[in-house]
């Protein structure tokens, strides 16, 4: 009956929906920012202490590889045919070694177990071996 009165009401509803949509968008944006801050903080805290990462890498190597391979900066391997881990690190490109550790290094040596390390373990192992390479590097 009065068409001019119904139109503004519809506009108000549309406007209210738009405002609600923007509010939801702000909530989602705030959550995304908070998540990014937490992820960055966690990553920064993780990367802040490389000695802890290297110590973890050494522990992983001691547990899984130390029975046969030398894992220190010097010394012979307990198993004569097993190369020291420091030498393995220098023989392979880092990316290739990283993939081999993640997938399980395959060896022709029957007694060597095929261990697929987690991403975190691989990162720790490589940090430890990198530290050994720096120790052995000439000044």
Nearest to 71 by CA among 82, 56, 85, 59: 85
Average pLDDT over residues 101-121: 85
Output b/e per residue, 6-24; b: 16+ Cβ within 10 A.
eeeeeeeeeeeeeeeeeee
Cβ atoms of 85 and 61 closer than 8 Å: yes
Q: Could you tell me the residue ranges of all domains in the chain?
A: 1-48, 50-136
pLDDT in tens, 51-63: 899 999 999 999 9
pLDDT at 110: 79
In this predicted structure, the answer to whether residue 137 has a pLDDT above a threshold of 70 is yes
**Residues listed for the chain:** 139
Left, alpha or beta for 106 (phi > 0: left; psi -120 to 50: alpha)? beta
Residue 18 banded pLDDT, cuts 50, 70, 90: very low
pLDDT at 43: 47
pLDDT at 47: 54
Dig out the tokens for 58 from the structure: 């050494």
Residue 109 banded pLDDT, cuts 50, 70, 90: confident
* Mean pLDDT of the residues in the chain: 77
Percent of the chain with pLDDT over 90: 48
CATH number, domain 50-136? 1.10.760.10
Max CA separation in the chain (angstroms): 99
Contacts 24+ apart (CB under 8 A), 102-109: 109/81, 109/82
| DSSP annotation of 4 | H
């Amino acid at each position: 009956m009065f068409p001019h009165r119904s139109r503004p009401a519809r506009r108000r509803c549309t406007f209210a929906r738009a405002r609600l949509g923007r509010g939801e968008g702000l909530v989602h944006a705030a959550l995304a920012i908070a998540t990014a801050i937490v992820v960055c903080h966690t990553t920064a805290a993780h990367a802040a202490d490389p000695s802890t990462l290297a110590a973890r890498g050494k522990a992983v190597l001691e547990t899984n590889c130390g029975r046969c391979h030398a894992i220190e900066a010097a010394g012979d391997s307990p198993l004569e045919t097993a190369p020291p881990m420091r030498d393995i690190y220098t023989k392979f490109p880092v990316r290739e070694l990283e993939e081999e550790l993640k997938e399980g290094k395959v060896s022709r040596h029957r007694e060597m177990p095929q261990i697929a390390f987690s991403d975190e373990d691989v990162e720790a192992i490589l940090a430890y071996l990198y530290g050994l390479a720096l120790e052995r590097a000439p000044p």
